[in-house]
Structure formats: C-alpha cells, structure tokens
Amino acid sequence: MHLHHQKHHQTYITNYNKALEQLDDAMTKGDASTVVKLQSAIKFNGGGHVNHSIFWKNLAPIHEGGGEPPKGSLGWAIDNNFGSLEALIQKMNAEGAALQGSGWVWLGVDKELNRLIVETTGNQDPLVTKGPSLVPLLGIDVWEHAYYLQYKNVRPDYLKNIWKVMNWKYASEVYEKEFPES
C-alpha cells in the first residue's frame, strides 16, 4: 500500500501535472502537433490518477465494512445481471487473471441501459474508454505492482483475497447516484 500510494500514484500525478502544463502551453501557442503528441502522456498519467483515486475508495478495512456484501438496489442488480454475487466475483476474477500484461478489471454500470457490466481495460485506460456511458463502481488493479511483493506471480490469489476488503458501500453509493431509488 505504501509503494502503491506514495510512489506509483504520486508518479502518475506528477507526470500528469507536467503533461497538463505542456498541453496548456501547446494549446495556447496553437501547436497542434504537440497537442496530439501529448495525448499519450495525458491518457496514461491522467488515467493512472483517475483509476487509483477510485481504487483507494473501493477498498476498506474489515472493521469499517470492507468485504461486507452489497445490499439494497446494487445487491439486487447484481443478482439480476449475474445471478449471484459469487457469480460476479468469479467472473471478475477470471477476467482479471486472464488479462494480458497490465490493466484493470471493472464492475461498472451502463447508465444508459441501466445494466451492470464486467469489463477490462489495459494499462491505465479508464473504464470510460470502453464506452462513454460506462460508470465505474469497482476497479481492481491487476498491474504486477499491485500484488507482486506479496503474491508474486500468483495473481489469482490476490484476486481471491481482495474481496475481503472490498468496499461495497462505496459501490452502492455510486450506483444509487446514477439510479436514485424512487
């Protein structure tokens, strides 16, 4: 957690800020070539900042509700979309384990179709890159830095254990904001 937060996330922020300054400068000068060239750094570092900011809120200590299954409308929506919470977890773990290289596995909601989805993104691509109407509820970082010191190459063990500290309260809040209970 120390390294992930103070080194990795901080580096994304540092580099995102730098890219933003360069972008602002290029936009002011009308330098389209540089504006386009900077998009890679913007997407990677900005995405890294966006994704990790969500990630820290996705997790909670057990004594603060981490791991407690979702109730209310999100719990109901999960059963509707996936059959059961266990089925959803199994699906996310399978897709997270199979992800090639670095990336994230997401539980999201398509706010136009009111449908829950499981999706993966590569590197630091935010969920919205897979569809403009997708809203992230939970994301699991499957970059090796997220688990290697503890789990080594055994990413499936990391995925199995992270659910013990999953903050379903936060996911429910985000879901209910998109679909307020009438």
Partner 1 sequence: MALRHLLTKKPLATQPLGILGFRRVQTFSLPDLPYDYGALEPAISSEIMHLHHQKHHQTYITNYNKALEQLDDAMTKGDASTVVKLQSAIKFNGGGHVNHSIFWKNLAPIHEGGGEPPKGSLGWAIDNNFGSLEALIQKMNAEGAALQGSGWVWLGVDKELNRLIVETTGNQDPLVTKGPSLVPLLGIDVWEHAYYLQYKNVRPDYLKNIWKVMNWKYASEVYDKEFPES
We find the least distance from the C-beta atom of residue 128 to partner 1, in angstroms, to be: 18
Distance CA 116, CA 152 (A): 31
Rounded to the nearest 10 degrees, the angle between the axes of helix 85-98 and helix 72-82 is 70
Q: Which is nearer to partner 1, 32 or 149 (CB)?
A: 149
Distance, CA of 104 to CA of 134 (rounded, Å) = 14
**Residue 157 within binding range of partner 1, rule CB under 8 A:** no
Name the segment binding partner 1 (CB under 8 A); options: 22-30, 71-79, 147-155, 165-173. 147-155
Measured from the CB atom, the residue of 120 and 167 that comes closer to partner 1 is 120
Distances (CA, A) of 135 to 47, 76, 110, 166: 14, 18, 6, 18
For residues 89 to 108, the per-residue mask of contacts with partner 1, x marking binding by CB under 8 A and - elsewhere, is -----------xxxx-----
Cβ of residue 62: shortest distance to partner 1, in angstroms?
Answer: 27
- C-alpha span between 130 and 121 (Å, rounded): 7
- 132 belongs to the binding site for partner 1 (CB under 8 A): no
